[in-house]
Amino acid sequence: MDVNELRDRYARGDRDFNGIDLTGANLADLSLYKASLKNACLTRASLTGADLRGVNLQSANLSGALMNGISLTGSDLRNADLSGASLREADLFRTDLSGAILKGADLHEADLREATLWDADLSEASLCETDLRNACLNGANLHKADLRESQWYSTSLVRANLHEADIRDADLTGANLQGATLPDGTPHE
């Protein structure tokens, strides 16, 4: 299936695109509100400015995808591979990213308020100036992540790994760090 067929099928009311392969496709500014793209391959696809609110992207491969300014509010990205993806200024409010791989992803100025990132791999990711207020990152791997100037108010980081993370000027007010590994390698009590 190509992008034009996807648009046509979506316009006709089809919402099931599970397993679709659109590697490297240009899907910029496309609206697929509430569609299902479970197990889809969107590696290196351009999704800049796309509206994917409420979309099921569970176990999808989005590695290396360009997703700046995308709207993914309330979407399901559990176990998705977003390694090396660019999600600058992305709207991920209340998105479920549990078990997702975001290794080396660029989430600069992204909105992750109230997002669920249980056991997510954010190692070496850039979360500079990212809003993570009231998010849940229990068991998340933030090893060597860049967290400068990010907002973590009332965020749950229980058992999270922050070893060697850069937390300069990050606001961790009210964050739950129970059992977390701190940037210096020591456990938080």
**pLDDT attached to residue 189:** 76
What are the structural domains of the chain? 1-188 (2.160.20.80)
Q: Which DSSP string corresponds to 142-168?
A: -TT-B-TT-B-TT-B-TT-B-TT-B-T
First-to-last alpha carbon distance for the chain, in angstroms, is: 52
**pLDDT attached to residue 45:** 98
Secondary structure letter of residue 185 according to DSSP: S
pTM of the model: 0.95
Distance CA 107, CA 87 (A): 5
C-alpha distances (whole Å) from 151 to each of 10, 47, 120, 155, 179 are 37, 26, 18, 9, 20
With a cut of 70, list the residues of the chain below it in pLDDT: none
Q: What values do phi and psi take at 25, rounded to 5?
A: -70, 155
